[in-house]
Structure 1
Amino acid sequence: MSRLKRKKLRKKNKKRIILVILSLMLTALALGVTAISKEVTSPKTIPHTPKPSNIKKESINLDGYLFIGDSYTVLLGETIKKHNSNALIKAVSGVQPGYWLEHFSELPKNSEVKGVVLLIGVNGATYSDNIPNKEKLIDSLVKKYKSKTIYVQEVFPVGKHFESADPENFNEAIDKNNETTKKYCNHYDNVFYIDATNNLITEDGYLKFTNDGLHISSHKQETFYKNIVSAVNKIK
């Protein structure tokens, strides 16, 4: 093969190599543009992380709480102490809300109390000063125990065999008092009305487990206490 022919052949080979390289570059460029286009036009999928369903709210501990009331709280005292050794109990049998207004100075200091649980009003439920005194008592508790949560319990109805008054009429007075108290509790951000009567009253509204028609039987005091704890924790 002559020198001239070899030279021409080399030139052709160079052109072929250049064309192959250009073709490969164009192919790579086209693939890159396509990939970029897909990345721009296709929204990114954010993986969904389900919230854990087993997270439980911390239960409120009533240890260190002040329990104020009448014979209902007196009878519940042993059960309260069994579960809360540091609970404070101020209760006197047969008293009305006015009693604690007169003996308010006997209540512990704000620094000694984590919160308050009040149950009072069955005694003298039909008296005209029952509700006004109870509202004054709530006002006084709010002022004394600043920044503390105050739970006001629903007053229990009496049983069908209550002898001190007509049970039906007496329970009607209790219902009206409870309705008034529930509304009054809404005046304060730290006062909550709670109902701890679950499974302790009959379908027709009478106290279910009672020996004297007025008080909860001793074997149901634990149920009563658990109802209070349950009602308190529902507020959270």
Structure 2
Amino acid sequence: MKRVLPVRLFWSLIILGLMTAGVSHAAIAAPLGDNGGLSILTVTDGQTEQAYSVKLQILLLMTALSFIPAFLLMATSFTRIIIVLAILRQALGLQQSPPNRVLVGITLALTILIMRPVWSDVYDHAFKPYDAGEITLMQAFSTAEKPVREFMLRQTQQTALEQMLRIANEPLDQNVEDISFAVVLPAFVISELKTAFQIGFMLFIPFLIIDLVVASVLMAMGMMMLSPLIVSLPFKLVIFVLVDGWAMTVGTLSASFG
């Protein structure tokens, strides 16, 4: 596990070195059609079109795939949902139930469901035209960025966006369309963290009241040696199940994204 990151970093530096060194296209490109039908990246000089070699295309593709987990965490609804569910588990007084894998699975399923309009937009307007050969790869990336960017900006708070603009030394009065993705991404993450803790605080209050009531009753009965958490846990579980807490939590999370 310790060798994964250095290996990825090594290959990323190799690619960066090739790009910055200005290696000629003739050295790393092959004529179109020599790749056995596999053509992800192509270069053109206006008259002839060439495709990068299969090995280089696979290397670039595997490097891009390594960023998918980071994109899932930082540019979707995943962060807010997983934080709220983790706070809910802590508020219930449960340490390992549901397990982390179950929480991640639930979060991933909700993320796919909530982000489905965005994925559909990307598929219809970016992937389909690129697959049909109507647009280039870079045009597909530019088209796919728009719905993701719009989703992120809808969830981003103005104060967080202005703070990131100050950090980037960019003017605060520029149009939203002109703000770079490098500024939108951290602003979106900060906003998601703030919103997640706000929802988690509201979920924590009822369980905190139950803990206080149970602790007061135990002290009044002189049972100070008995932990209030042991007694309050069954009551919290029963109340949470009776009010259909999971459905309410999922509904609140879904509604928070508009």
Give TM-score, length-normalised by structure 1: 0.23
* More helix, by proportion: 2
- More strand, by proportion: 1
Given the two structures, how large is their TM-score scaled by the length of structure 2?
0.22
**Structure with max Cα Rg:** 1
